[in-house]
Each structure stands twice: as C-alpha cells, then as structure tokens.
Structure 1
C-alpha cells in the first residue's frame, strides 16, 4: 500500500503559498492545512478574552486550552474556535497586526507544532495525503515529508500580490499601506523560524515572474519529480 503523500510548503508573506497550496491539494485530491491560520486563530481567541499578548505564560496556556477545529477540505477550508467560524475574523487588520506576538512566543510554538503534526497525520491517513503550508513546516513540523518546497518571490512581487489581495489594487499608495504588515511579519517571524532560504533537501520555487497557474504547475512538477525519484 502506498504511503500517504505529505507535501510541506513554506514561504514568506505574499509568496502565494496559501493559494498555491490549496490548488495543489485540489488537483491531487488530498487534504490541506493552513498552519498560519492556527496562530491567527489563537491570536483572535486571546484578544477576545482580553489576554495581554505580552504575558507569554498566559498565551502559552491559552494555546494548550483553546477549542480549535480546522476544516481541511482545500475547496472550503475552515477555522472554528469554540463553535464560532473565525475564518474572516482572523484576517482583520487587528489580528494581522498582533499575530507576530503570538507566533514568536516560544511557549506557543511547540504546542501548535505538535497539533499540526497530529493533524497532518490524521488528514493524510483520511485522504491519502495533505498539503501543509506555513513558515516552518519543511524544517520543524514535517521534516520527513515526501515533498518539501520553499515558495518564494521578490519583495516587489510579494507586496504587489498582498496589496491586491487586501486593497484590490497594486498602485503605489496601496503597496505602501501593505508594506509594514508584510515585511514586519516576516522580520518578526524570522527570529523563530527560517523560511527565507531553502534548507537541505527542500526544493526552491521562485514565483516572482510566474502567474498563479504557472506557480501551481511548478509545485506539481516538484511533486512529480519526487515520485519518480522514489520509484
């Protein structure tokens, strides 16, 4: 029996990893896990409860206790906390501005990383595979994944994409309004996770000059090559 296919995708903000990962999972008919959404969901939960994000112990305890449920269908991924769909709430500016404080908490990371490993194993077993994307999936969460990809892009391309996503435009004003959120998040997260350079055995896919479909095909090519290598 063929072992489940685990694909780990890391990358900085605006590299296209979420949209590409979902499309790859849909094409392959396997599950999808957005690990970044888990940190966002915990941030939302802490803010809702009035926790001080600077209180590292309290936030780490919240990570152990908060009632999170992740929907892993790539056509309709969901994030639910205590029965509340927070898919939209975790993408607000309030959460985006605060999530680094949670994601860089060294008491939080091992808790959520273990939850991610458990989810990856369960989803892969249920669907025959899983595409998990985030910041440290290729190196910490799933270093033994059959396929490991670092999806990257130039700063200009990443700002343009995220600006279009958030503001519906990539003009100079919209890009500038996006700059701090994108670059600061990457700078903060790089203190606890290496996602700007491909680790040994990780395939680098640069999407700077690729359209969306081309980016998806580039990752699928890496998957196909890994299957041939194993065969």
Structure 2
C-alpha cells in the first residue's frame, strides 16, 4: 500500500507521517525535505530561487538521499547530512520558492516514484497523492487553522534554540499558502478529489495517527 499525506505547511504532515509509517512498519519518505535540500543548495550556490532555469540546473546536479542513523531518518545532500540545516525559516521560504518551478518538480517526482514503486511506504508533502502517486490506495489531506500552524512552527524553532516572532511566522504561512495553492492548482486539483481531509487544529498527534492508521487498515481489508 502507498499512503500519501498532503496539506499546507504546518498542518502536521511530517510528524504524523513518520509515526504512521512506524505503526504500519512502512518506509517513510519526506518529499518536502527534498525541496528544502534544493532550496539549501540554491542559496549556497548563490542562485536566485526565482530563477527557474538556474534552479532546475542546480537540482539536476544534486544527489539527494535518505538514510537511517541512530533510529532517525537523515536527509543527505551530496553525501552530507543536512537534516538540521534545512529546518530554518530561511530554507522553508526558499523551498516554497523553488517548488514552483516545473523543472524542479519533474526531476524530484521521478526520484520520488522510484523510491515508492514497491509500495509499503508513507509519503508526505506536495503532489504525493496527485502528480507522484495518483493511484495511491490511501490519500490524506491534513489542514489546520493558520494561527495554530504558526504556533506549531514557533514551538519547533524554539526547541532548536532559534528565535522567532509569532506574527512574522503567521505572515509567512499566509504568503506561503497563497503561493503553494497557486502552484498546486496549476498542476490540477488540490487536494486530490479522493483524499480524506482531516482538520488537525484540535487534534493531538496521536489522534491524527490513530485516525490514519484506522483508515489504512480499513482500506487493506476492502
């Protein structure tokens, strides 16, 4: 089975998908980390994230991989662990900007499909239930109130010792929502018409995970 989890930034995709994969004993693929890796590489190389040709050229030359180390999934860029480096607000914004370029998405979708072609995988991120695996057996679309998503982002940054202002994070989320929705609608329906929408605003992580695992077991029995 392929479980595709999509939704706007801060809706709880990453943590939820990782725990669902653990419970189902499936592989876990964070597609958003791949766009963050491209964003990091672009900034490191001094390329404008809005330069479609330049960003696509950088993307084609990258080696992005995932590896389990000490029980944690690590994102590798050209063999270097960048898991912490790609979680800053700066990289989040760069990832959103590079993700609008069709050439970047085309490169990464090929890689993502190859990683999940044998099933038994939980993918989270943009396009997972549409462009990447339109025939996924279970598609989930997580949503949450923008203010709650900003609070979650603030907590994550504070845990890593980074300073941030709630109002600025809320503005970033609203801007990113507009950009992401415009990008997604250019590629088709978003969310996928057959996705199950779950509002996580008032849900704990364990409640989100339990709902998705129950849906997966129900789908397996169908």
- Asked if Structure 1 and Structure 2 have the same fold, meaning a TM-score greater than 0.5 normalized by the shorter chain, the answer is yes
Q: Secondary structure at the match of 1:71?
A: strand
Match of 2:14 in 1: 18
Match of 1:82 in 2: 78
User: 1:8-45 CA deviation, whole Å, 9 max, x = no partner?
Assistant: 00011111110000000001111100001001101111
Partner residue of 1:154 out of 145, 162, 178: 145
1:144 and 2:140 correspond: no
Q: CA deviation at 1:97?
A: 2.6
Match of 1:58 in 2: 54
User: 1:56-79 CA deviation, whole Å, 9 max, x = no partner?
Assistant: 112112211112112368x51111
Work out the number of aligned pairs and report it: 216
Query: CA separation of 1:199/1:52 partners in 2, compared to 1, >3 Å: closer, same or farther?
Result: closer
1:43-192 residue pairs with structure 2 within 5 A? Answer: 43-71=39-67, 75-121=71-117, 124=119, 129-167=120-158, 174-192=165-183
Q: TM-score, normalised by structure 2?
A: 0.89
CA contact (8 A) 1:159 1:179 kept: yes
CA contact (8 A) 2:21 2:121 kept: yes
Q: CA deviation at 1:209?
A: 1.4
Query: CA separation of 1:196/1:93 partners in 2, compared to 1, >3 Å: closer, same or farther?
Result: farther
Unaligned runs of 5+ in 1: none
Q: TM-score, normalised by structure 1?
A: 0.86
Query: CA separation of 1:209/1:54 partners in 2, compared to 1, >3 Å: closer, same or farther?
Result: closer
CA RMSD of aligned residues (A): 2.2
Q: Distance in 2 between matches of 1:203 and 1:228?
A: 17
Q: CA deviation at 1:89?
A: 0.9
Unaligned runs of 5+ in 2: none
Partner residue of 1:7 out of 3, 6, 15: 3
Q: Which runs of 4+ in 1 moved over 3 A?
A: 194-198
1:225 and 2:218 correspond: yes
User: 1:177-208 CA deviation, whole Å, 9 max, x = no partner?
Assistant: 31122222222121211599543221111112
Q: Secondary structure at the match of 1:151?
A: strand
Match of 1:211 in 2: 204
Q: Distance in 2 between matches of 1:204 and 1:145?
A: 15
Q: Secondary structure at the match of 1:193?
A: helix
